[in-house]
């Protein structure tokens, strides 16, 4: 006879959708997921890539993806080099999306995290950051050497965008 064991009911997972603007964003977000989200946590993260474009395309991608599944938290990591329109902001509000800005782009945010000087031009930030990565920018392993948990935790105190993003990985929206 097989002995039945009592299984304690588990707390429902918080489901999170994070949309990156492009494949580099998705790789960095996946690196964060590896650092901050274990399979034993109560947060289930889904990371998608909007395949570039401007705010309307990225917001539309987030809306479409959020309709595929039921998510408690829906966030977008998006460059700030293009200003959002009233229509963009209305869509963000209507669909309860959290927008986290990378100033002026992902690579600018990454340079900030490392405490390095950044330019206001995305192309120069990309060039400066890509030289330092341990591989291609769209490979999540390229971020492991520079962006350790120690570096990220130290930087989150100075960078609200990073702090907000890391909080999402543990199921907090503030």
Residue 144 in any domain: the answer is yes
pTM, full prediction: 0.90
Residue 1 in any domain: the answer is no
Residue 23 in any domain: the answer is yes
CATH number of residue 110's parent domain = 3.40.50
Could you tell me how many residues make up the chain? 174
pLDDT for 107 equals 97
Residues forming beta bridges with residue 19, ordered by sequence position: 48, 76
Residue 12 pLDDT grade (very low, low, confident, very high; cuts 50, 70, 90) = low
pLDDT for 8 equals 53
Range(s) of the domain holding residue 65: 14-169
CB 59 within 8 A of CB 88: yes
Mean of pLDDT values over 116-132: 96
Residue 67 in any domain: the answer is yes
DSSP 113-149: HTT----SSHHHHHHHHHHHSSS-TT-GGGGTTTS-H
Structural domain count of the chain = 1
Mean of pLDDT values over 2-26: 79
């Amino acid at each position: 006879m097989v002995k039945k064991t009592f299984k304690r009911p588990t707390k429902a997972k918080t489901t999170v959708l994070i949309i990156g603007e492009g494949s580099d964003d998705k790789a960095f977000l996946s690196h964060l997921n590896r650092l901050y989200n274990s399979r034993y946590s109560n947060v289930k993260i889904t990371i998608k890539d909007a395949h570039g474009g401007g705010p309307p395309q990225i917001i539309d991608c987030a809306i479409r993806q959020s309709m595929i599944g039921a998510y408690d938290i829906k966030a977008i990591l998006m460059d700030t080099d293009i200003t959002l329109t009233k229509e963009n902001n209305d869509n963000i509000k209507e669909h309860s999306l959290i927008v986290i800005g990378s100033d002026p782009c992902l690579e600018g945010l990454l340079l900030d995290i490392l405490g390095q000087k950044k330019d206001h031009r995305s192309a120069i930030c990309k060039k400066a950051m890509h030289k330092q990565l341990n591989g291609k920018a769209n490979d999540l392993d390229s971020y492991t050497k520079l962006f350790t948990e120690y570096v990220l935790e130290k930087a989150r105190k100075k960078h609200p965008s990073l702090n907000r993003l890391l909080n999402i990985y543990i199921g907090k929206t503030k």
